[in-house]
Amino acid sequence: MERMLVVLFENESKAYDGTKALRQLDLDGSITVYAHAVVVKNPDGAVITRERDDQGPFGLLVGTALGALIGVLGGLAGLGIGGTVGLVAGGAMDLHNARVGEDFIDDVAKALSPNRAAIVAEIQEEWTDPVDSRMQAIGGTVLRRALSEVKHTVHEEHLAAIKADLAQMKAEHALVRVQRKARLQEKINQLESRLQAQLQKDKERREAAEREAAAKVELLQKKAAAAKANAAAKDKEAEIHIQS
């Protein structure tokens, strides 16, 4: 199951110990780590990314659920507990792209108090015990949530609103006098520009989601091939040992 994983630690040093443990679990085949980052909450409440896995299958985290979650956490600085309520449109879209519920964001925001650090990771795991056992042994508190399917409700509503405004302006433009036509045409041009910009953003978001999905499949295929090769090598070694 694909999950968003957040492991909270008392300090940044412990968080780096946690990343080492996470990588080892990935190498052991216990889990698959698609991408991860270490974030720290400063005394002033600002959430800063200290380390990020730009060498993972996603490359840059921009456009991923993980990147969106980090962006939302950073945007909550200074808003206080429960700050997800009433986010501006951009923040709401980031929250939507994070593919987890507001309650999960609130839980993480509450637990990530000043001077604490956290690993934020997008993973594939079938059992929770490997991660829980390893992280608890080094003082980590584990929060996790299954990733929801991507739905573009927020973007679709935004596009619908722009299109509705545009249709109304064009209808008025056909009826008003010449003096008013120029002013309406200017507004129509502005709305059409906004519509095209939003359509371009949606296209980029879809393409990013497709790249992310393809990267995950490729990574899982590579891990399966490596496991098969390793098993074959062990069988060959056992055969040679028996013959000798």
pLDDT, tens digit (0-9, with 9 covering 90-100), for 54-104: 545 555 565 578 888 888 887 654 333 333 333 333 344 455 667 777 788
Q: What is the pLDDT of residue 95?
A: 59
Question: 111 pLDDT exceeds 50?
Answer: yes
Q: At residue 42, does pLDDT exceed 70?
A: yes
- Please report the pLDDT score of residue 56 as a whole number: 52
Structure tokens at 216: 């995950």
List the one residue out of 40, 28, 113 whose CA is nearest residue 70: 40
Interval 135-165: pLDDT, tens: 999 999 999 988 875 455 445 655 677 777 7
Nearest to 69 by CA among 106, 22, 28, 32: 106
- Residue 6 CA to residue 3 CA, distance in Å, equals 10
Q: In what order do the strands lie in the sheet with 31-41?
A: 47-52, 31-41, 117-125, 2-9, 141-146
* pLDDT for position 32: 92
Supply the pTM of this predicted model.
Answer: 0.64
Residue 9 has pLDDT above 70, yes or no: yes
Q: Which of 93, 62, 30, 64 is nearest to 214 (CA)?
A: 64
Residue 87: the pLDDT is 34
- Among 42, 39, 40, which Cα is nearest to 78's? 42
Spatial separation of the C-alpha atoms in residues 122 and 159, rounded to whole Å:
29
Percent of the chain with pLDDT over 90: 23
Angle (CA) 133 38 57, round 5°:
90
pLDDT band at residue 3, thresholds of 50, 70 and 90? confident
Closest C-alpha among 65, 90, 217 to residue 147: 65
Predicted pLDDT at 157: 59
